[in-house]
Structure 1
Amino acid sequence: MSEAEARSESVGTVMVAGAANLAIALAKLVAGLISGSAAMLSEAAHSVADTTTEVLLYLALRRGARPADVRHPFGYGKESYVWAFLAALFTFVAGAGFAITHGVTTILVHQHSGHYFVSYVVLAVSFLIETVSLGRAVRQIRREARRWRTTARRFLRLTPDTTVKAVFLEDTAALIGILLAGIGVALSQLTGDELYDGLASIAIGLLLLVLAIVLAKANISLLVGRSIPERLRHEVEQELAALPTVDRIDTLLTMQLGPEDILVAAKVDFHDDVTGADIETAADEAERRLTERYPEIAYVFLDPTPSRPGTRARHTRHTQEDPSA
């Protein structure tokens, strides 16, 4: 799968999720207003937050895909993480904040109108629609995991494409939220006590809070300048070390410039007898090998480093290690 195909699939996943969330939000809102259920209204807020998030994620994909220019020579890939971070922030403020405060209010003062049937119907239909959206995200994750020769779980944890990660987590949280709302409404109906409806609303808010924190942390890490996964970094190092004129790799630094762009920079100790022409040839060969094996690598910079006692310890950084890989 090419970069363009992967980006197109992410756009499709986001659009499917956005359309599903918009339809579900309207249905939940109507059901919440008719029934007066705090859990249903919280679920409506949940879906509204998810819909807004999908719009921001769509902007992330479009804005981040712009080509490099004079003012931004490494492209706009990191801008996608700005929009994705704003999406997580909106989930935190709008979704979690409304659900928790409305749940507390319900426990203290609210009286349920008693129209339970419409809530059950909307929750059941919403569950089916969210399952379809989640299924698309899961299929994309599995294809991408096979492309990177890793497990789906590891890909989801380390992927720099936070849009597909956000859709997967949001759809999963939506299904859990629907179940919580259903339990809260059912217990309120059986007991006649609105405590359970309010508690369900608070639980949905806490679920959204956890989701927002997870997504925000992932995007902040990428904005700061996260390295590529450790296994991939070792493979890059092996490719560079395999060049015939290379003695050793003193330092290897990598960074995700965007969901589909990687920067590789290395301090390389060449053999003592190589010429300037040999170094230029080695640099071209390194770029060719790496970009053929990993099309996501957009930039390769090699810095020839003389081999002198103590030089590495005083003037260079040791090879990167990724504790999260």
Structure 2
Amino acid sequence: MSAVGHGNRTLWIAFGANLGIAAAKFGAAAITGSSAMLTEGVHSVVDSSNQLLLLWGRKAAKRPADQYHPFGYGREIYFWSFIVAVLVFALGAGVSIYEGIIHISDPEPAVSPIIAYGVLAIAFLLEGGSTLEAFKDFKQHKGQLGWIQAVQQSKDPPGFIVLLENGGAMVGIIAAAIGLGISQYTGDPRYDGAASVVIGLILAIIAFFLAYESKALLIGEAADPQMVAEMHRMVEAKTGVTAVGEILTVHSSPDQITAMLSVDFDDNISARDVERLVCEIEREFESRFPMVHALYIRPYSSVDRGPPC
């Protein structure tokens, strides 16, 4: 799974799709006077703000390191991804469930079927295009990993947030169409409210998963195990290195890794040779692992099996 590579194009497409859906809902609300459709329009505007937060997070994460943040601002993207997950839960799932309960307890007269299905059709087409773009982007970078495993190992949350959020929206549109159809068939508008509750529950599950993955990255996740194993082999193969102990890595952003290595150097080489060897390892890391922005090497004795000195 590539840690980097997801561009902003998918985010801008999702942003445009949500604004288009919001415009369709506001138009329907203006024609019918439906308060539910007006609320849905506001809901779509809020959804579009999620993409803006992710775009801002990516921009803020690229700020250079300074004296107050010596490792840079890379984790900005993880913070804003977590905020988006919270918003999906609070304003997506929460509002949908609330609206559903209100419409079940106090049913509102159904909106014109032509207008209602027209809005759903527009939403389906726009969300479908956005979801397809997110699907292709994520598939390109997941490699041979399965979808769930790729999401769990991804270090770039906007890539999977847009995919899962849009996928949930697609399922929600289908659920809304089914609820609307049953309401019209039975003449009972409460089924429409029940569909809204179902949509809210779907969004709640997605939001919980997004928050869980974003929290893990915000706390600090290690680099890909294959990359760590390659680091180990590369350093251990050096003449003058007798063993490589613990390798600690942490992602500061999708394309920034801090690595700390415990290395047992040959006792028969001089301090100058150790310095030369450390410089050689650093240069090779810079070439082979460009995402490693900070590398720290500490000596230890593999004979004593003790901690680094």
TM-score by length of 1: 0.86
Shift of 1:219: 1.6
Distance across 2 between alignment mates of 1:59 and 1:236: 33
Shift of 1:287: 2.5
Match of 2:73 in 1: 76
Distance across 1 between alignment mates of 2:43 and 2:263: 51
Distance across 1 between alignment mates of 2:147 and 2:207: 21
Gaps of 5+ in 2: none
Distance across 2 between alignment mates of 1:123 and 1:218: 31
Question: What is the correspondence of 1:242-253 to structure 2 with a 5 Å cutoff?
Answer: 242-253=237-248
Distance across 2 between alignment mates of 1:100 and 1:237: 51
Distance across 2 between alignment mates of 1:107 and 1:292: 62
Distance across 2 between alignment mates of 1:131 and 1:183: 18
1:130–1:171 Cα contact (<8 Å) kept:
yes
Three-state SS of the structure 2 residue aligned to 1:264 is: strand
Q: CA 1:143 to 1:200, structure 2 compared with 1: closer, same or farther past 3 Å?
A: same
Say yes or no: does 1:220 pair with 2:188: no
Shift of 1:165: 1.3
Shift of 1:298: 1.4
Match of 2:261 in 1: 266
Give the paired residue count: 307
The residue type paired with residue 163 of structure 1 is P
Q: CA 1:168 to 1:121, structure 2 compared with 1: closer, same or farther past 3 Å?
A: same
Say yes or no: does 1:105 pair with 2:102: yes
Question: What is the correspondence of 1:1-325 to structure 2 with a 5 Å cutoff?
Answer: 6=5, 9-31=6-28, 34=32, 36=34, 44=41, 46-146=43-143, 150=145, 153-312=148-307
RMSD (Å), alpha carbons = 2.4
1:37–1:112 Cα contact (<8 Å) kept:
no
Distance across 1 between alignment mates of 2:306 and 2:148: 41
The residue type paired with residue 140 of structure 1 is D
Distance across 1 between alignment mates of 2:221 and 2:160: 16
Q: CA 1:32 to 1:205, structure 2 compared with 1: closer, same or farther past 3 Å?
A: farther
Three-state SS of the structure 2 residue aligned to 1:10 is: coil
The residue type paired with residue 81 of structure 1 is Y
Amino-acid identity (%): 34
Distance across 1 between alignment mates of 2:66 and 2:130: 36
The residue type paired with residue 59 of structure 1 is W
Say which is worse superposed, 199-208 or 284-293, in terms of deviation.
284-293
Q: CA 1:45 to 1:282, structure 2 compared with 1: closer, same or farther past 3 Å?
A: farther
Shift of 1:94: 1.2
Shift of 1:229: 2.7
Shift of 1:157: 2.4
The residue type paired with residue 70 of structure 1 is Q
TM-score by length of 2: 0.90
Gaps of 5+ in 1: 317-325
* Post-superposition CA distance 1:155-194 (Å, at most 9, x none): 3321111111111111111111111111111111111112
* Post-superposition CA distance 1:25-69 (Å, at most 9, x none): 23134436738495x667545533321111110111111111112
Distance across 1 between alignment mates of 2:262 and 2:230: 16
The residue type paired with residue 268 of structure 1 is V
